[in-house]
Amino acid sequence: MSKFDDYPLSRVPENKRLSLLSVAIVHMGMLTALDQFMLGAVLGNGMSTGEAFTAITLASLLFGVLTFALGYAGMREGLPGSLLARWCGFGRHGSVLIGLLVAVSLLGWFGIQNAVFARSLSYALDGKLSFAEAAALSGGVLTLLVTFGFRALRFTARIAVPLFIALVGWIFWHAFHGQAGPVAQPAVAADPITVSAAITMVIGGAILASLMTPDLTRFSRNGRDVFAITLLTILAGEYGINGLAILVARELQTSDIIAIITQTTSTLGLFAVVFSTLRVNDLNLYSSTLGITNAIEGVTGYKPRYQVITLLLGILGTLCSILGILDRFVDFLELLGVVFPPVLGVMIIDYYVLKTSRQTLALGRAENALPPVSASIGWPALIASLAGAATGLFIERGVPVFNSLIVACLIYLVAAPLFRRLSARQAGALTD
């Protein structure tokens, strides 16, 4: 999949498109990871099985619509999400802000998964390393790997993906058919989770995959491939990894994934978790670094050194682990679940309904070139996204993720045409 490094700031030519399987494997990897297993364990320990799967189903429907719509736009235009945002309402500087938001969120995921890594490592070494020491060690090593040897991690990914899937299958079989070890009680009693809160959490755990989908589907050949990719990711991530984790957590009565793994696979399973966490966290730090680097260059014109940004972000993410970001996992998911859907909603409304830049994009598509100009900043898109996020955060009635999405879309539908008319009127007044 080295071709995925190509065309970061241009369209993907038609003759460089890849097969369905080539793109689907990479996209499925976004949701077949430890974070989905963690989320499923939290849901299974805080809800009934029926409620948990209801939340997954409703969230998957919304995730599927958003992912397919944005992925299809990426395939049609051959553009990654950050570039697509420039011509989907946000403008050049607005898309930089979106990139920064994604980078900060990925840094949060780095901190959370490094904390799981550290707990697993500390447990596997029988407490010879404290959690803080293990977090500092694992975060530091991973930062150095990404800084100086990211290509070497491709080997890790090829082994870690099947290893983690096999581990989840073994955990499920052993929880229901094997002889589990002594049950470890969760450190904190589970608080009941409502269906509406669970939907927002599931969306929060998957929404970055939606926003990053054009980065991958720009290599797809047609809309049928994009639909199949979306469906396969939902089945593997939400009903596979997430669903099995719900059943296992219900059976073992705990959301502590370290306890779940040690009860079913003993210490050997912890090393599989350590290894599989590498596979996801290198990409979190790598993508976060690229987002920050591109944002700095887009705003100031200065091109910072990639290694320096990676080291700084790795240190910051490691500090987040040590300071206890894992304890705020649920809060983090709920925040992502109301902040990012409005952004996706605005982009989809702009591309498919208002079609603000569709003609401009079409002119360059025939020549496989980017439009020569873009708006500096899309104020209606930013205002609508902020209003949607605020609605999801502060209005408790209903389902927060749906509230945030609907408010953002409605505001943008009204504000964008009004803003264009006002701009045109001002331009006309200046020429008179």
Query: Stretch 68-81: mean pLDDT, rounded?
Result: 93
Is the pLDDT at 8 greater than 70, yes or no? no
Give the pair of three-digit tokens for residue 369: 């070139």
Domain 18-175+191-424: CATH class, spelled out: mainly alpha
Q: What is the pLDDT of residue 107?
A: 84
- Class of residue 432 by CB neighbours under 10 A (exposed 0-12, middle 13-18, buried 19+): exposed
Is the pLDDT at 125 greater than 50, yes or no? yes
Q: What is the pLDDT of residues 283-317, one digit of tens each?
A: 677 667 767 876 776 677 677 776 788 888 889 88
Is the pLDDT at 189 greater than 50, yes or no? no
Q: What is the pLDDT of residue 340?
A: 92
Q: What is the pLDDT of residues 386-432, one digit of tens each?
A: 999 999 999 988 899 999 999 999 999 999 999 988 887 876 665 65
Q: What is the pLDDT of residue 116?
A: 80
Using alpha carbons, list the distances in angstroms from residue 59 to 177, 282, 390: 30, 27, 20
Q: What is the pLDDT of residue 185?
A: 46
What are the CB-based long-range contacts (under 8 Å, 24+) for 366-373?
368/10, 368/11, 368/13, 368/14, 368/78, 369/10, 369/11, 370/9, 370/10, 370/11, 370/79, 370/83, 371/87
Q: What is the pLDDT of residues 250-290, one digit of tens each?
A: 888 887 777 777 666 666 666 666 666 665 666 677 667 76
| DSSP secondary structure, 275-332, as one string | HHHHHHHHHHHHHHHHHHHHHHHHHHS----HHHHHHHHHHHHHHHHHTTGGGGHHHH
What single-letter amino acid sits at 81?
G
| DSSP secondary structure, 180-193, as one string | --PPPPPSSPPPP-
What single-letter amino acid sits at 42?
V
99 pLDDT tier (thresholds 50, 70, 90): confident
Query: Stretch 9-27: mean pLDDT, rounded?
Result: 84
Contact 395, 403 (CB under 8 A): yes
Higher per-residue confidence, 152 vs 76 = 76
Q: Enter the pTM of the model.
A: 0.83
Measured CA to CA, the distance from residue 206 to residue 40 in angstroms comes to 12
Q: What is the CA radius of gyration of the chain?
A: 22
